Structure 1
Amino acid sequence: MDRTEISGSGDPARTVATLWGTRRLPRRGPKHTLTTAQVTAAAIGIADGDQDLSTLSMRRVAEALGVGTMSLYTYVSSREELVEAMLDTVYGEAVQLLGPLGDAPWQDGLRRVARVNWELCTRHPWVLQVFTGRPPLGPHTIAKYERELAVIEGIGLTDVEMDAAVTLVHTHVEGVARRRVEADRVVRRTGIDDEQWWRQVQPAIEAVFDPSRFPISARVGQAAGQAHRSAHNPEHAYAFGLDRLIQGVEALISERAGA
């Protein structure tokens, strides 16, 4: 899945005003029959249905709402601004799912952060098409960041390390989720799943593949294939990588405490 959008590419001040609800709608002209939230929700519905952001247009959103395309610019000044509003809105779902911190160990909290982001990416796969090096600085985005940082507050990391740990979780989850979304897309396009594909390709590859020439690949590939029933298992990669990530943070904290 290619990234088709860059967060932060719209007018910064206008976007912040839209996200925080401080933008003033024009007093003159036709009566306002919609809200920015309604426009954003319609756009999310289209992107969710297509599982793709590249097909989203202001015209399609307007058609879904039964209004003229130009009227949408009353609520969002550009498609780029609309995408940021979409992101901030779905981040609000993550805030709700993260819930209160409670007394759970930070390791469990970090797993919850990872799971919520995994579910977000698989429920709204179009978010993986947006590069968020400049995140949408809306209320839900910041609340999500606050909840995620709270999980590892006071465990022995510096502020910079806390930010890095949360970023590392996001990077891991998004990378594996992208593989999952792409795999699902291949199944939809080809009409066959991985097991069916392997049964079709197996006779051909066995006719040309010499295990003695690639002994490690033969051994490991066979073990992984038998375990996953496919060439790649995103859920296993997600769990394996998350375990190693948490162990790395634990090692850092232990090393510092023993120094």
Structure 2
Amino acid sequence: MATRGRPGPRRTLSEDELLAAALELLDSEGQLSIRGIAAKVGVAPNAVYTYFPDKSAVIRALVEKLLGESDTGAFTDETKPWRDRIEALALGVRERLVAHPSAAGLLMSAPMDGPRTTALNERLLDVLIGAGLDPADAARATYLLIVYVLGAIALEVADETDPGPLPPEEDRITRRRATFDQIPAEIFPRSAAAAPTMARFISTDQYLWGLRRLLDGLE
């Protein structure tokens, strides 16, 4: 079993610098390690342990960073309609994770219970209760929306094998269309006919279509 390094003697870096290095590592290599983060910032691994006791702590902090940064803009604007606020949040989360697709998987495996993600959850509950849901239904709706947003993003980035930001949306749709156009219509006629629509399952339009249907049901 690997042993954790001893804490470094001085705090010469910031957590934000180390998390930025972690994201760079994910974008370039698709995986994380304490040694890799240390190499990115030019320090010994022990210096990283001064801030994070292990890799799981780095992952938790990255989840906090990526989701916490979405708790801004139109989502926080109480003068906007509740549906517009939730759409803004969903689009913000997608934008951040599409820029760092290797990080998307972290959100499916790491707990989302830090202070920033809890504050985000609190604000989302407040929006839904303000829209007329009772507290229990608002809690269920919050979970439903999280499952939809993270699930849709996870399926979107799963198509890509290379780390780093995804190619432009239309390029990815064109590539998917070429794959779906190979479905034999004589065996799967409905799937073949639906190929143009299925190719766009990873599009912003599809993402918002699903989100809006969920919001219709909640409303």
The bucket for the TM-score relative to the shorter chain is 0.7 to 0.9
1:152 aligns with 2:121: no
Q: CA 1:69 to 1:244, structure 2 compared with 1: closer, same or farther past 3 Å? A: same
Q: CA 1:43 to 1:201, structure 2 compared with 1: closer, same or farther past 3 Å? A: closer
Report what 2:17 is aligned to. Answer: 38
1:241 to 201, 210, 213: 210
Larger Rg: 1
Q: CA 1:197 to 1:74, structure 2 compared with 1: closer, same or farther past 3 Å? A: closer
2:84 to 79, 94, 108: 108
Structure 1 residues not aligned, in runs of 5+: 1-25, 251-259
RMSD: 3.2
CA distance in structure 1 between the aligned counterparts of 2:11 and 2:202, rounded to whole angstroms: 49
Q: Letter of the 2:203 partner, please give it.
A: P
Q: Letter of the 2:216 partner, please give it.
A: Q
Q: Structure 1: which 4+ aligned runs deviate by more than 4 Å?
A: 131-134, 196-202
1:216 aligns with 2:190: yes
Q: Which has the higher contact order (CA 8 A, sep 6+)?
A: 1
**1:150-170 Cα shifts (integer Å, max 9, x gaps):** 222233212221122122122
Contact residue 62 and residue 68 of structure 1 kept, 8 A = yes
What is the deviation of 1:82?
1.2
Contact residue 122 and residue 181 of structure 1 kept, 8 A = yes
What is the deviation of 1:172?
1.2
Aligned-pair identity (%): 28
What is the deviation of 1:127?
3.4
Residue 159 of structure 2 aligns to a residue whose secondary structure is: helix
2:103 to 122, 127, 144: 127
TM-score, length of structure 1 as denominator length: 0.67
Contact residue 125 and residue 138 of structure 2 kept, 8 A = yes
Contact residue 121 and residue 174 of structure 1 kept, 8 A = no
Structure 2 residues not aligned, in runs of 5+: 1-6
Residue 129 of structure 2 aligns to a residue whose secondary structure is: coil
Aligned length: 208
CA distance in structure 2 between the aligned counterparts of 1:245 and 1:58, rounded to whole angstroms: 40
**1:208-259 Cα shifts (integer Å, max 9, x gaps):** x353x544344x42xx41x57x374433331221121011101xxxxxxxxx
Residue 67 of structure 2 aligns to a residue whose secondary structure is: helix
Residue 238 of structure 1 aligns to a residue whose secondary structure is: helix
